[in-house]
Homo-oligomer: A and B are copies of this chain.
Amino acid sequence: MNASRPLAESAAGTDIDQYVDDLGRQARAAARVMAAAPTGTKNAALAAIAQELESHRTAILAANAGDVERAQAAGLEAALLDRLALGEATVAAMAEGLRQVAALPDPVGQIDDLAYRPSGIQVGRMRVALGVIGIIYESRPNVTADAAALCLKSGNAAILRGGREALASNQAIGRCVQAGLAAAGLPATAIQVVETPERAVVGRLIASPEHLDVIVPRGGRGLIERISQEARVPVIRHLDGVCHVYIDAAAEVAKAVEIAVNAKTQRYGTCNTMETLLVAAEIAAEVLPLLAVRYEAAGVTLRACERARAWLRDAEPASEADWQAEYLAPLLAVRVVDDLDGAIAHIARYGSGHTDAIVTQDYSRAQRFLREVDSSSVMVNASTRFADGFEYGLGAEIGISTDRLHARGPVGLQGLTTQKWIVLGDGHVRQ
């Protein structure tokens, strides 16, 4: 089915199977307790974990220093080393993150739309935990604390499997998480950090619907695609962010320029950064020369279509590959389109369904863009950089989903829950 090397492949196959089954059974048992845990108890656990992280800061940093040293010796590249390294500030931020999650409202048990039906029963929906969540992530050890906090608050159990290079750091953080859970009277096994670097564990986990209800991979495209290919468990995926801003003929020029500059330059490496700018032909002569000055000042290199290059003398010619690129760098593709239809067609063909924005004062075109662009976030007169769990008011996010089912866009506590139907009768039977 799949040409790439399967994840599950190990000499120690049966040991791995046993290890994963133990993890899974413990998680499943803990999940039942977590699903029914009172809000106050969960918040107490979060506070206790924050406390544990602070009191064990020295041990965490020592474990992390060991990881960094081994990774350097193994020749890990600088960007990954940078992600791996923790400092006092990172540990403080992890503790602060846990307290912020404690302060968020508890989604579990919330009842929506409870209403009487003609039969006399009341029908509504109650928000409940998903069960056991598998998080598979790469270098950053602080994900261990962040993911634990969100899974705990949403009443789930979790199995966390971080990068091999971060093993000692993740275990040190994991011990704090388990101590905090125990201090609040919750099962320590509600959050388990995988203790072996064996890759086969991942292959076995993602093929075990009896152990996991959903998998959230966090990392590069390679990791996410491999997991999607091989998983027998639903995956909440975050693939590319090829985000667009379309400057419509009816845009206010000043707004358009500020949004197009912010969407590209506020941060280059984030998934909600604009990668392609689309400009209506009618307004190109007015807006592109202004943008050329601003992008040059910011050090952004432009790759433009022929029509756009009339106004962007320094731009390189764009190729087909540029319309598909997620640069994550000071590089921008620019294309002049005829009108809104041209912009929508371009986004449908080349976009990744992440975040796209229109700048326009025209009511009908704003409405059409909102309705017809099929992305997880669609914006009018705002920078694509707003596509973020904190900016949307979720408080924290476990990731951004580019999938369509279940959770779309930034995934917070609600995305880690589901709804069941509840029916309240008083002896009602069906006729």
Q: Which of A46-54, A188-196, A367-375 is near enough to bind chain B? A: A367-375
Collect the chain B residues with CB atoms within 8 Å of residue A380's CB.
422-425
Docked pose: A375 CA to B375 CA in angstroms: 32
**A404 contacts the other chain (Cβ, under 8 Å)?**
yes
Q: Which of A123-131, A166-174, A296-304 is near enough to bind chain B? A: A123-131
**A429 contacts the other chain (Cβ, under 8 Å)?**
yes
Please pick, from B252, B375, B405, B421, the residue contacting A410 in the complex, using a CB distance under 8 A: B421
Collect the chain B residues with CB atoms within 8 Å of residue A128's CB.
374
**A391 contacts the other chain (Cβ, under 8 Å)?**
yes
Q: How far is the CB of A226 from chain B (nearest CB, A)?
A: 14
Docked pose: A423 CA to B409 CA in angstroms: 12
Collect the chain B residues with CB atoms within 8 Å of residue A405's CB.
130, 213-214, 234, 405-406, 418
A425 touches B379 (CB 8 A): yes
A372 and chain B: residue at smallest CB distance: B36
Q: Which residues between 341 and 378 of chain A lie within 8 Å of chain B, taking CB atoms?
A: 348, 357, 370-372, 374-378
Is chain A's interface secondary structure helix, strand, loop, or mixed overall? Answer: mixed
Q: When each residue 417-431 of chain A gets 1 if its CB lies under 8 Å from chain B and 0 otherwise, what string results?
A: 011111111111110
Collect the chain B residues with CB atoms within 8 Å of residue A370's CB.
126, 422
**A387 contacts the other chain (Cβ, under 8 Å)?**
yes
| Given A117-B393, A130-B404, A405-B418, A424 and B123 contact (CB-CB distance below 8 Å) | no
**A381 contacts the other chain (Cβ, under 8 Å)?**
yes
Docked pose: A377 CA to B125 CA in angstroms: 9
B427 touches A252 (CB 8 A): yes
**A254 contacts the other chain (Cβ, under 8 Å)?**
yes
Docked pose: A393 CA to B421 CA in angstroms: 12
**A336 contacts the other chain (Cβ, under 8 Å)?**
no
Collect the chain B residues with CB atoms within 8 Å of residue A131's CB.
374, 404
| Given A406-B405, A429-B262, A36 and B371 contact (CB-CB distance below 8 Å) | yes
| Given A405-B234, A408-B418, A430 and B379 contact (CB-CB distance below 8 Å) | no
Collect the chain B residues with CB atoms within 8 Å of residue A262's CB.
429-430
A409 and chain B: residue at smallest CB distance: B421
| Given A409-B421, A421-B409, A430 and B35 contact (CB-CB distance below 8 Å) | no
B213 touches A393 (CB 8 A): no
**A330 contacts the other chain (Cβ, under 8 Å)?**
no
A372 touches B427 (CB 8 A): no
**A18 contacts the other chain (Cβ, under 8 Å)?**
no
Docked pose: A383 CA to B424 CA in angstroms: 10
B254 touches A378 (CB 8 A): no
Please pick, from B371, B418, B428, the residue contacting A383 in the complex, using a CB distance under 8 A: B428
Please pick, from B382, B391, B420, B426, the residue contacting A409 in the complex, using a CB distance under 8 A: B420
Please pick, from B32, B391, B410, B428, the residue contacting A386 in the complex, using a CB distance under 8 A: B428
B348 touches A32 (CB 8 A): yes
**A395 contacts the other chain (Cβ, under 8 Å)?**
no
Collect the chain B residues with CB atoms within 8 Å of residue A11's CB.
none
A-B contact pairs, 11 of them (CB 8 A): A121-B382, A123-B386, A128-B374, A213-B405, A214-B405, A254-B427, A377-B423, A378-B422, A379-B423, A380-B423, A405-B406
